[in-house]
Chains A and B, each alone.
Chain A
């Protein structure tokens, strides 16, 4: 059974810093790895999706990498802003997408103005 772990569970940094969120998974036979953002009381917003054949994806100040052999993914946030404060979730896609996603418990991020 796939297990996804996110470290750290919580992180508080001053505005402007670059930061890295970590995600590890136990079964490297994944189809994709997806990063989400969740604001309090809201649903999940997809940030980046990395297919199993890819090494990284970028969107604006966000960069996500995937290393299947080591079972790791990182989300890099450049020049953090208070608006980046949220919970960030990573999820491993198994079974070609038909079997849903296995989620980590998330990293609660606070960017201090």
Chain B
């Protein structure tokens, strides 16, 4: 039972490079989201999706792009990496839009932008 799988676990990029953080879940969850966790800031929502083909912005969406072509996958794209995007990124999933469903998190991707 894999749950939420994030790849890669670690990544170092140079300023201006682009990359995609992968997230996959095998629980048939409709709702998926991306957070970033920074020291002293807590977790902040970047983008979320309530189902295949539907995405929306969270609190800190600038510099990130998402798409949801399947229920299982929700990749996060950094278009042109900046040092301010150095962070730990977490993907989460749950059953959609119901107030009684806990969110399941992946182990995170630790990203450094030089």
Residue positions of A touching B, CB distance < 8 A: 4, 31-32, 34, 36, 42-46, 49, 51-52, 89, 91, 93, 96-101, 103-106
Contact = CB atoms under 8 A, between A and B. Distances in A.
Contact of A45 (B43, B58, B105): B105
A105 B40 contact: yes
B90 A32 contact: no
B90 A49 contact: no
B96 A103 contact: no
Nearest to B46: A100
Contacts of B40: 105
A36 to B, nearest CB: 8
B50 A49 contact: no
B93 to A, nearest CB: 11
A43 B108 contact: yes
Question: Of residues A45, A49, A100, A106, which shows the largest number of chain B Cβ atoms within 10 Å of its Cβ?
Answer: A100
A103 B33 CA distance: 14
B42 A44 contact: no
B48 A100 contact: yes
B53 interface: no
Interface string B62-97: 000000000000000000000000000010101011
B43 A32 contact: no
B96 A104 contact: no
Contacts of B31: 97-98
Contact of B94 (A4, A44, A97, A104): A97
Contact of B33 (A45, A51, A100): A100
User: 10 closest A-B pairs (Cβ-Cβ)?
Assistant: A31-B99, A100-B45, A46-B102, A43-B105, A44-B105, A103-B43, A43-B107, A105-B42, A103-B42, A49-B102
